[in-house]
A = this chain, B = another copy of it.
Amino acid sequence: MADVNAQPLDGDPAARVLVAGASGFTGALAAQIVWRHPKLELVAVTSRSDAGTRLDALYPRYRVSLELTELDLEEVDGVDAAIVAYPHGAAAPTVAALRDKGILVVDLSADFRLRDLATYERWYGAHGAPGLLDDAVYGLTELYRDELRGAKLVATPGCYPTASVLALAPLAERGLLSDVVIDAKQGVSGAGRGGGDAMHYVSMDENAFAYKTEGHRHRPEIEQELAALGSPAPVVFVPHLLPLDQGELATCFAQTSEPISKDEVQALYRERFTGEPFVRVVDGPPGLRDVRDTNECHVYVTVEERGRVLAFSAIDNLWKGASGQGVQNLNLMLGLDETEGLL
């Protein structure tokens, strides 16, 4: 095969990009998206566990022919922007070091998503760079587009908050939410690499179950965002794993503070998302297959017989729920069209 290079760039790159933690599922996809991006140049992919391996040996379905190296923060040169795909808690110190060098950072971890330090520490332990919390912009693109344009550090939300908050945003912004139950369902890639016996093919095949039913750390993040939009409602959140690879489906049962009809709520959603390049308001409950390997979010809203609003959203957990949205944000930080490299 001819040497498969990255997409040829349209002229000089808008940024030379490093992906840190590229051996995990979200880091590897971030590298792949940057690799094919017409305006970005992928200059390095790093990994502690897999340094020395080429990324396309680890992920043959991606085409990134770079070798993974260990990140040496002393030696990072010629890098304009970094996407950090580290585990929650591990990202903050690296993010801080990169910012110190003036490098733009898109963080895919939870480390800069919670605005309240105490809440962060309750769920994740000590914070590695609390001084940066105020600098971080929350990277749910459709809600914070203006702030993202000039941002230096973006905390990209994970798949659960992305799917849930997008599904509820039009109601939250009107202050209409009084009580929310979210039943979320996710493919196995959402659990990340590793996982041992529990993630073995034989364990997950023909299986489905809830997990973290005693409290999930994405709940406070979802509550934070709904409150920020205008609806400080309590949220019950239960995640499930499904026997599929990529996909995240949020089924939201919302009690509104005043009655709303099906026609009204559907009109509200269509209006709210008009012009959004990646949010599609669809005519029936969305399916995960429809969004697989895309950066799209499909949303459907209706009202059931007892008056509860049902809002459904489907995303690809690795794309709109992580790396795709990360690049969407990076595009904005760099002044590029937000869809660049993502269609």
Give residues of chain A (197-222) contacting chain B, Cβ–Cβ below 8 Å: 197, 199-211, 213-215, 219
- CB-based contact A207/B287 at 8 Å: yes
Indicate whether A236 sits within 8 Å of B253 (C-beta atoms), given known contacts A242-B243, A287-B60.
yes
Selected contact of A1 from candidates B193, B219, B277, CB within 8 Å: B277
- CB-based contact A208/B287 at 8 Å: yes
A157-198, CB under 8 A of B: which get 1 and which 0? 000000000000000000000000101010111000111010
Q: In whole angstroms, how far apart are the Cα atoms of A289 and B208 in the complex?
A: 7
Selected contact of A288 from candidates B207, B213, B280, CB within 8 Å: B207
Q: In whole angstroms, how far apart are the Cα atoms of A121 and B267 in the complex?
A: 33
Determine chain A's interface SS by DSSP, over half rule: loop
Kindly state whether residue A343 has any CB partner on chain B within 8 Å.
Answer: yes
Give residues of chain A (211-256) contacting chain B, Cβ–Cβ below 8 Å: 211, 213-215, 219, 234-236, 238, 240, 242-247, 249, 251, 253
- CB-based contact B280/A208 at 8 Å: no
**Chain B residues with CB under 8 A of A200:** 188, 193-195, 199-201
Selected contact of A188 from candidates B202, B211, B219, B253, CB within 8 Å: B202
**Chain B residues with CB under 8 A of A277:** 1-2
**Chain B residues with CB under 8 A of A211:** 285
Which residue of chain B lies nearest to A197 when distances are taken between CB atoms in the complex?
A: B193
Kindly state whether residue A279 has any CB partner on chain B within 8 Å.
Answer: yes
Q: In whole angstroms, how far apart are the Cα atoms of A247 and B243 in the complex?
A: 12
- CB-based contact B240/A185 at 8 Å: yes
- CB-based contact A292/B251 at 8 Å: no
Indicate whether A243 sits within 8 Å of B240 (C-beta atoms), given known contacts A188-B201, A193-B197, A290-B61.
no
Q: In whole angstroms, how far apart are the Cα atoms of A199 and B204 in the complex?
A: 11
Give residues of chain A (253-305) contacting chain B, Cβ–Cβ below 8 Å: 253, 273-282, 284-294, 296, 298, 300, 302, 304-305
Selected contact of A304 from candidates B194, B236, B288, CB within 8 Å: B236
Indicate whether A2 sits within 8 Å of B288 (C-beta atoms), given known contacts A197-B193, A201-B200, A245-B202.
no
- CB-based contact B247/A208 at 8 Å: yes
Kindly state whether residue A315 has any CB partner on chain B within 8 Å.
Answer: no
Selected contact of A210 from candidates B209, B251, B278, CB within 8 Å: B251
Kindly state whether residue A310 has any CB partner on chain B within 8 Å.
Answer: yes
**Chain B residues with CB under 8 A of A208:** 185, 242, 244, 247, 249, 287-288
The 6 closest A-B pairs by CB, nearest first: A183-B183, A1-B280, A210-B285, A207-B289, A209-B287, A60-B290
